[in-house]
A and B are shown apart, each in its own frame.
Chain A
Amino acid sequence: MFIGTEKLTYTYMSGTPFAATALNEVSFSLGKGEITLIIGPSGSGKSTLIQHLNGLLKPSSGRVYFKGQAIGSDKGELLRLRRRIGLVFQIPEEHFFSETIYDEIAFAPRNLGLAESEVRIRVKDALEKVGLRAEQLQYRHPFQLSAGQKRLVAVASVLSMNPEVLILDEPTAGLDPSHRRNLFALLDNLNRSGGLTVIISTHHLDDVVALAHSVFVLQGGRMVLAGPPSEIFTTREKLYDLGLSLPSVTEIMHSVKEKGLPVKTNIYTLAGARQEINRLKGRPGR
C-alpha cells in the first residue's frame, strides 16, 4: 500500500465531557499515482482523516502508513514526510499567514532551501497553474481577495512545494465552474504526466468523479463504502440514505432509466451522457 490506515481511531479532546470520536477504526489504502475521492456528510470525519495522512494529527489508536511504513513520531521524519505530502486546508483563511501572496506561495519552496531565483519561478508557475495572473495579484495581501481567489492561492501555495502527494480538503467550495474545471484538469494532468497521487474530499461531485480511481465514503467516523466510482454510484438509494448526492449527470441518467429507457447509469460527464443517449437513438454521438 502506498498510503493507508489501519484501524485508525481518533478522539478529539478525550478525557473531557466534550470528547468526540471523529474516526472509528478506519482502514483503507490507496495506490501510488491514483486519484482518490473521500466523500461523506459534514462531521463524518473527512478532515480528521486527511490531517492524519501527513502526520498533522496523531492517531488515538491504530496506524497510518506511507509507502508501506507506519508513520512514527520521529520529528525529522515527520518533517520530511510533510514536505512530500502537500495538504490544502478546507478553509482557505486557515491556510494563510504571510503579508503578500508572493510570500505565501514562496513559503514552501523557501523551506526546501531553494534559491530565490528558483523560488520566483515556482511562484509564478504555481499561480499560472491555478489560473491566476501573477503580475496582478502577487503583491496583494492574501485576505484582499475574493473568496474563490483565496482558495486558488491556497492551492498554489502547496503546489509550489512540488509534492508527491497532494491532499485537498473540499477544494472547490466557492470556485466558479471554470476555475473548478481548471483545477480538476490541472490535477488530472499532474497525475497523468507526473504521477502525482491526489486525494480529494468534497461534497460537490460534478466534474471530479470522472477522474477518480477510487471512492471512499465516510459516515459517523466509519468507512461505510469503498470502491471504484462505477460501483459506488450505481445504487443511489444507499447514497441518499447517507445524505449524499450523485454527480448531476449521473442523477439525470438514473432518472431517465427509472422512466424505463435502457441507459447505463455509470456516467459522470456531459459528453458521456450525450453519447449514451445518442446510442439509444441508434446514432453514435460525436
Chain B
Amino acid sequence: MVNRPEIIVEARNLAYHYPGEEATSFPALSGINVAVYRGEYLALIGPNGSGKTTLLKLFNALLVPSDGEVRVEGVSTIDEVEIPRIRRICGMIFQNPDNQLVATTVEEDIAFGLENLALPSAEIRQRVGEVARMLNLEHLLQQPPHLLSGGEKQRVAIAGVLAMQPGCILMDEPTAMLDTASRRDVNDMVRMLRQNHNIAVVHVTHFPEEAAFAERVIVLNQGRLVRQGPPKAVLTDLSLLHSLGLQSTAASELAALLREDGFELPSQLLHNRELVDSLCSLELKS
C-alpha cells in the first residue's frame, strides 16, 4: 500500500472513569490507543462491562476523557466548539431501538439531525428522500416510530445518522434485540454502507459471526485493549477468547475440537461454509 489510509477517529492514551466509581474496581477504560480508518469495518468485542459502550460514547463526545484524548478528524473532543462537527462526523446507533427515536414521525426523525445542522429546508427534504430510498423506508415515512418493529426502528435510526453524511458510524450492539430476519437486514445494510459509501463502521457485538465479517477486530477486557487484528487472527485465537469468557464462531470452535481429534483442518477457519467444505474434502464418506 502506497499511501496510508486516512485516520478518522483516534484515541491516544485514553482513560475514563465514571464519577463516583469505587477506587477498588478498575476504571471503565485505561491506556487505550486505537485508530479508526476511513471506510473500514471494525468490530469491537469484549465481555460485559469491558468498556465497549464507554469507548463509543467517548468517540462521539458524549463523554469527555478523564485522561488522554480522542481526536475526530484531527480535532480533540475536549474542544466544546467543535462538538457539533464531531457528532456529524461520528454518528451513533444505540442498542435499544426504543430509546433513540426523538420525533413523532419517521420522516421528522430522519430529519432531526439535519435540522440541527441548520441546513436549508429543501436540502433536508432531498436528503431525507435519498436515505429513505436507499434504506427502503419510503413507505414508512409518515408512521409514528413507536409502531414500527425493532428492525425497522434500527433502520430508521441508521437512516437518521446516514442522512448527516458521516465519516463513521458507531453502532452499539445494534442487533442484540432483533430477530434473525431483522438482524440479517441490519447487517446487510452495514456492509452496503462500507462498500458504496466509504463510511467507517465501528460495530460492537457479542455475536462472533458478525465480528467475523469485519476487517479488523478489537478486543477489550476490563477497560484495556488486549488484542487487535484481522478476524482470521483474533477470532481463531481461542485460548485468548476463552480466557476472557468469549467465544469464536461455531465453525471455528468446532474446527478446534476436531483438530484435537486429528482432523486436518485449516487453522484460520471462521465461517460455516469453510468448515463444511474442508470437512467434505477430507473424504469422510469412504
Contact = CB atoms under 8 A, between A and B. Distances in A.
Interface of A: 18, 41-43, 91, 93, 136, 144-149, 152, 170, 173-179, 203, 206, 243-245, 248-249, 251-252, 255-256, 259-262, 270-271, 273-274, 277-278, 280-281, 283, 285-286
Contacts of A148: 47-49, 206
Interface string B218-261: 00000000000000000000000000011101110110011001
B46 to A, nearest CB: 8
B245 A178 contact: yes
Contacts of B257: 270-271, 274
B78 interface: no
Interface in B265-286: 272-273, 275-276, 279-280, 284-285
Contacts of A173: 176-177
A177 B48 contact: no
A285 B275 CA distance: 18
A176 B245 contact: yes
17 contacts: A91-B177, A136-B24, A146-B50, A148-B48, A173-B176, A175-B48, A177-B245, A177-B246, A178-B245, A243-B179, A248-B209, A251-B250, A252-B250, A270-B250, A278-B261, A283-B262, A285-B261
B247 A174 contact: no
Contact of A91 (B48, B96, B183, B209): B96
B98 interface: yes
Nearest to B183: A203
Contacts of A176: 46-48, 206, 245-246
Contacts of B275: 252
Contacts of A249: 250, 254
Contacts of B24: 136
Interface residues of B, number: 51
B107 interface: no
B258 A248 contact: no
B98 to A, nearest CB: 7
Nearest to A255: B276
Interface in B151-202: 151, 172-173, 176-183
Contacts, number: 132
Given A43-B149, A245-B180, A256-B276, A270 B254 contact: yes
Interface in B85-117: 95-96, 98
Interface string B11-49: 000000010001011000000000000000000001111
Contact of B182 (A42, A136, A255): A42
Contacts of A170: 177
B261 A136 contact: no
B60 interface: no
A146 B245 CA distance: 16
B279 A256 contact: yes
Contacts of A260: 280, 285
Contacts of A93: 96
B65 interface: no
B145 interface: no
A171 to B, nearest CB: 12
Given A42-B149, A252-B250, A260-B280, A149 B49 contact: yes
Contacts of A42: 149-151, 178-179, 182
B45 to A, nearest CB: 8
B279 A277 contact: yes
B53 interface: yes
B98 A179 contact: no
Nearest to B28: A146
A261 B53 CA distance: 44
A152 B47 CA distance: 13
Contact of B48 (A147, A255, A278): A147
B272 A147 contact: no
A273 B149 contact: no
B250 A175 contact: no
Residue of A177, A178, A271, A274 ringed by the most chain B CB atoms within 10 A: A177
A283 B246 CA distance: 30
Nearest to B177: A173
Given A243-B181, A261-B279, A283 B25 contact: no
B246 A178 contact: yes
The listed residue with most A CB atoms (<10 A of its CB), out of B177, B275, B285, is B177
B164 to A, nearest CB: 25
Contact of A261 (B246, B254, B285): B285
B183 to A, nearest CB: 8
B60 to A, nearest CB: 16
A81 to B, nearest CB: 28
B180 A243 contact: yes
B284 A281 contact: yes
Q: Across chains A and B, which 3 residue pairs bring their CB atoms closest together, nearest first?
A: A148-B48, A178-B245, A248-B250
B280 A261 contact: yes
